[in-house]
């Protein structure tokens, strides 16, 4: 009974994600596992894991792309998503192992483990989409070459004053400062 409660707590924690994670291509019935036989759950679980690993590969490709571009902003953004995907994939793989054990033992926890896998898959798909939206510092740079256009007001002489040097200061010795004697002989 405590295994079932722990499974529900983990599933609840996974559900506490962003609302964008709910807009996935994974149908809700396949996440819950209701109405599926044990063999169908194993088959769907394998499909979910394959999609999660494909998403991981796509995000790893984005990381490599950001590294090749030497774009630190994009790399940080994609690395953040990658870290979350790796953690969720680990949870899903552990749930898959528990699902296989639950089905082999004819345990009631199979639905919970299948739900964990489905929820992790939904969240990973959302994170993959977020990683695709990561923009880097190149999105903020308009042009690689900066040009400066100088406009002179009317009425100024038309000569180039940028090549003038500042006048040299004459060598002046500082004046001699005489200090008054101390007011107290003990100081």
Identify the pLDDT of residue 35. Answer: 76
Q: How far apart are CA 114 and CA 153, in angstroms?
A: 75
Question: pLDDT value at position 154?
Answer: 80
Q: Judge contact between 123 and 19, C-beta under 8 A.
A: no
Domain ranges of the chain: 45-140
Residues whose CB is less than 8 angstroms from the CB of residue 58 and which lie 6 or more positions away in sequence, other chains included: 128, 131, 132
Q: Where does 17-160 have alpha helices with state H? A: 28-32, 38-69, 72-104, 110-132
Tens-binned pLDDT, residue by residue, of the chain (187 aa):
444 544 444 444 444 444 334 444 444 444 555 678 888 999 999 999 999 999 999 999 999 998 998 888 889 999 999 999 999 999 999 999 999 999 999 888 889 999 999 999 999 999 999 999 888 755 555 556 777 787 777 877 666 666 666 667 777 777 888 888 888 877 6
User: Cα separations (Å) of 127 from 45, 48, 118?
Assistant: 19, 15, 14
pTM summary value: 0.57
């Amino acid at each position: 009974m405590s295994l079932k409660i722990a499974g529900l707590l983990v599933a609840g924690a996974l559900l506490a994600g962003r609302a964008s994670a709910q807009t996935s291509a994974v149908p809700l019935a396949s996440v819950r596992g209701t109405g599926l036989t044990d063999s169908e759950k194993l088959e769907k679980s394998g499909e979910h894991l394959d999609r999660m690993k494909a998403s991981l590969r796509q995000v790893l490709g984005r990381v490599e792309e950001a590294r090749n571009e030497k774009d630190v902003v994009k790399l940080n953004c994609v690395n953040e998503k990658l870290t979350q995907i790796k953690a969720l994939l680990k949870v899903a793989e552990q749930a898959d192992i528990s699902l296989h054990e639950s089905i082999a033992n004819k345990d009631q926890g199979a639905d919970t483990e299948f739900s964990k896998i489905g929820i992790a898959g939904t969240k990973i798909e959302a994170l993959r989409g977020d990683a695709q939206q990561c923009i880097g510092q190149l999105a903020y740079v308009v042009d690689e070459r900066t040009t400066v256009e100088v406009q002179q007001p009317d009425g100024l002489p038309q000569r180039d004053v940028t090549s003038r040097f500042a006048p040299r200061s004459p060598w002046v010795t500082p004046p001699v400062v005489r200090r008054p004697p101390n007011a107290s002989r003990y100081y």
